[in-house]
Amino acid sequence: MERYKVVIIGSGNVACHLAKVIDKFHHVVQVYSRNIENASNLAVQLHDCNCIDSLNEIEMNADLYLISVSDDAIKDVIDAMPKVKGVVAHTSGSIGIEVLSRKMRHVGVFYPLQTFSKEVEVKLSEVPIFLEASDQQSLSALETLAHALSDKIFYANSDQRQTLHIAAVFACNFFNHLLYLSTEILKEKGYSLDVLYPLINVTVSKAFSAGAFNSQTGPAVRGDINTIHKHIDLVDPSIKEIYQILSQSIIDRHEIHKNI
């Protein structure tokens, strides 16, 4: 495998996770951050890597420039960067490729579908990476990089990435909020969310083995309107509507033909 010279632009959670794994297979020559201390903290963890806080000092002969900054800052980075010959890719799920191609020739998107934080260790090898590129040469470079990191490589244009983001909002952001609402419900009777942990784990396992449609359980899919009404009466006024709308959605999708 060809060993690329890679420049990492950014020093947040995604940049750090990616840089450390890329460092095992390629040469991360430089880390940029507006804050030189952050750049330095990351660079010292990598082999033979320098750090900069000005995009004018960027290494001109790198094969790949990975921009892993907040969505709002991507355009500013491109504006401030000199025009380079290597492949320039960002790691954002919601920003289009065109923000890069206005200025650079070889561009792409390298989007790992995962939430990165300091608290939870992430096995990058299991994280799906979604690629998009302006041309075959750029795509090949991103594929080479991706294959070193993960077993799960997919392709997604901007429209598809948008859809991935929406699906993740449902399955992760909204799910997490349901966990918060459950926490509050349980707290009132003296229990912690922990009592639901085994049930949640099995719910995940079943949804991925048998499919979420076939795995649906609970009052709504049984058409048990009595229990649904009892629950809606009992829950806090702020979540009655959520209970009602999600239950009706289950009833409708499973064609139970009842109204709450």
Number of residues that bind a copy of itself (CB under 8 A): 88
Choices 25-33, 50-58, 136-144, 201-209 (CB under 8 A): range interacting with a copy of itself: 201-209
237 lies in the binding site for a copy of itself (CB under 8 A):
no
1 binds a copy of itself (CB under 8 A): no
> Should residue 162 be labelled a site residue for a copy of itself when binding is judged by CB under 8 A?
yes
Element housing 40 (H / E): helix 36-43
Cα–Cα nearest to 131, from 149, 154, 163, 165: 154
Piece of 34-42, 103-111, 138-146, 238-246 that binds a copy of itself (CB under 8 A): 238-246
Which residue in the set 73, 153, 185, 225 belongs to the binding site for a copy of itself (CB under 8 A)?
185
CA distances from 142 to 87, 108, 156 (A): 8, 8, 13
The least distance separating a copy of itself from the CB of residue 238, rounded to whole angstroms, comes to: 7
| Window 215-234: residues binding a copy of itself (CB under 8 A) | 215-221, 227, 230-231, 234
Question: Which residues is 224 bridged to in the sheet?
Answer: none
- Buried b / exposed e across 170-205, counting CB within 10 Å, b at 16+? eeeeeeeeeeeeeeeeeeeeeeeeeeeeeeeeeeee
How far is Cα 128 from Cα 124, in angstroms, rounded to an integer?
Answer: 8
Per CB under 8 A, which of residues 76..135 are in contact with a copy of itself? Answer: 94, 113-115, 117, 119-120, 122-123, 126-128
Amino acid at 93: G
Mark the segment that binds a copy of itself (CB under 8 A) among 59-67, 80-88, 134-142, 153-161.
153-161
Q: Which stretch binds a copy of itself (CB under 8 A): 2-10, 60-68, 77-85, 212-220?
A: 212-220
For residue 255, give the DSSP letter: T
